[in-house]
Structures are given as structure tokens and as C-alpha cells.
Amino acid sequence: MTVPKHDVGVCIVCLLRHNNIGYSPTPRHPVGWFCTDCLDTGIDAIKKAYHMSRKQLDVYEERAVEAGSEEAGAYLDGLGKSDLADLEKHEWLEMWRRGLLGYANEMQKMMSENAPPF
Ligand SMILES: [Zn+2]
């Protein structure tokens, strides 16, 4: 099977940039693209994400958003700032970076677990 490269796009698990790693159960199914970090969680995690229903994925994504927001909040707590208007540009960007990575890390963690996280 030949899979065309898909250079631009995001990983279907963590929403970070994918690394041209595709999975499809058969040639007739669309290819799901993944990043190397998610692949490191194991092929079972990749298959789990690919075959998960939208309703199930919504629950996982909600939990990942919570985890990301906790990371961003912890960063703000560390700065001693709670008013977003008081943030310097680099602090604003770092808060978002931590939130996004918190989301990605939680999605990878949940996909690698056998039981649902709720
Ligand atoms: Zn990923």
C-alpha cells in the first residue's frame, strides 16, 4: 500500500504537528496521522484513538482540556498573577504553551491506558 505524504497537519491524538506517520486499518479507510510522541505510547494507543467514537473522544478531549487548563493555571500561580491583562507577552505565550502541552500529554496518557479515565 502506498500512502501519500501529508506534510501539513496535526496528530489526531494530541493536536500537535504530526510526523507523517499514518495508520489506516485497510486501504479503503482514510489515513489518520500521528506524531512520534503518540506513536511512542504504542500502536494500541494509535488504534484506540483512530477507532474511538466521536462521543467517546469528546469525553477524552474534555478531560485533556481540564488537564491543560490546570497546567496553565499552575504557571500563573507560580507567577503570582491571576489577571491576564497583567501578563507580559512572553508570559502569555508560555501560559498557552503549557496549556497546549498539558492537553497533548493528557491525551497521550489516556490513550495509552486500558481503562477510561473517568
Ligand atoms: Zn500526537
> How remote is the CA of residue 10 from the centroid of ligand 1, in Å?
8
> Which has more confidence, 117 or 79?
79
User: What's the pTM value of the predicted model, to 2 decimals?
Assistant: 0.84
Q: Is the pLDDT of residue 118 over 60?
A: no
Q: How far apart are CA 80 and CA 70, in angstroms?
A: 15
Q: How far apart are CA 92 and CA 90, in angstroms?
A: 5
Question: Would you state the pLDDT for residue 5?
Answer: 67
Q: How far apart are CA 58 and CA 40, in angstroms?
A: 23
How many C-beta atoms surround the C-beta of residue 92 within 10 A? 13
pLDDT per residue as tens digits for the range 34-63: 999 998 888 888 898 899 999 999 999 999
> How remote is the CA of residue 38 from the centroid of ligand 1, in Å?
4
pLDDT per residue as tens digits for the range 59-116: 999 999 999 999 999 999 999 999 999 999 999 999 999 999 999 999 999 988 876 6
> How remote is the CA of residue 80 from the centroid of ligand 1, in Å?
31
> How remote is the CA of residue 86 from the centroid of ligand 1, in Å?
32
Amino acid at 32: G
